[in-house]
Homo-oligomer: A and B are copies of this chain.
């Protein structure tokens, strides 16, 4: 396993490709996500972001890029779904993600657990593990830095109740993070074109994550079919 500095260096200025397909989506299958990740590696990706122990274990077999692991799970008593409880953390850690990603919004987790308490538990049980904060707004980025996250992502901008009106990619938030936080920033969320990616990389972020525009053919198809419908042929 690489040390923290080596690992961060490996993803510096790189594209990280998110390879996810949830239950009910046509590509939901560890077999397919492994191949998707391999395609991303062959296309020059510097890292992979993936969901669930099954997908991550599969991807590990085929690719040798740094892996950001998360585990989506829904609970009735909280809107937090990206690695919400220690149960998901434990199952994820069994497949050794290089970086553990988790919801780092201000919202309480299942069981009323605060982000502060959750980070304390992770640090206690898994000292030395790199952790990435999935945040939605500037205050959450500042708080994540105070809590000692190793990487801060804009992943959840647009996906919390109080940010759902922002336009993605959220260039303003990305720029604010890159200019004011000293923790490495991972730009993520709604990047669809090479032009957008270039503009984002030029803000000084550490790396960027693209998922849907590369690995979700249903959503890519929708973007094109919508453009035809707009013509009213």
Q: Which of B42, B194, B217 contacts A40 (CB 8 A)?
A: B217
Q: Which of B17, B45, B217, B219 contacts A215 (CB 8 A)?
A: B217
A26 lies within 8 A of B44 (CB): no
A159 within 8 A of B: no
A23 within 8 A of B: no
A230 within 8 A of B: yes
> From residue 175 to 231 of chain A, which have CB atoms closer than 8 A to chain B?
193-195, 197-198, 201-202, 210, 213-228, 230-231
A35 within 8 A of B: yes
A94 within 8 A of B: no
A39 to B223, CA, bound (A): 13
- Return chain B residues, CB-CB under 8 Å to A202: 231
A75 within 8 A of B: no
A29 within 8 A of B: yes
| Known contacts A223-B194, A228-B197, A231-B201; A217/B39 CB under 8 A | yes
A38 within 8 A of B: yes
A44 lies within 8 A of B201 (CB): no
A15 lies within 8 A of B225 (CB): yes
Q: What is the distance, in angstroms, from A93's C-beta to the closest C-beta of chain B?
A: 27
| Known contacts A32-B35, A35-B27, A223-B194; A228/B13 CB under 8 A | yes
A126 within 8 A of B: no
B43 lies within 8 A of A228 (CB): no
Q: What is the distance, in angstroms, from A89's C-beta to the closest C-beta of chain B?
A: 29
20 examples of A-B residue contacts, CB within 8 angstroms: A15-B221, A17-B217, A26-B35, A26-B36, A26-B38, A27-B35, A27-B36, A42-B218, A42-B221, A43-B217, A43-B218, A43-B221, A43-B224, A44-B222, A45-B225, A195-B227, A198-B228, A201-B228, A210-B224, A214-B217
Give the 7 A-B CB pairs with smallest separation, nearest first. Answer: A43-B221, A44-B225, A194-B227, A39-B218, A26-B39, A26-B38, A39-B217
A233 within 8 A of B: yes
Q: Which of B15, B219, B224 contacts A15 (CB 8 A)?
A: B224
| Known contacts A214-B220, A221-B15; A227/B197 CB under 8 A | yes
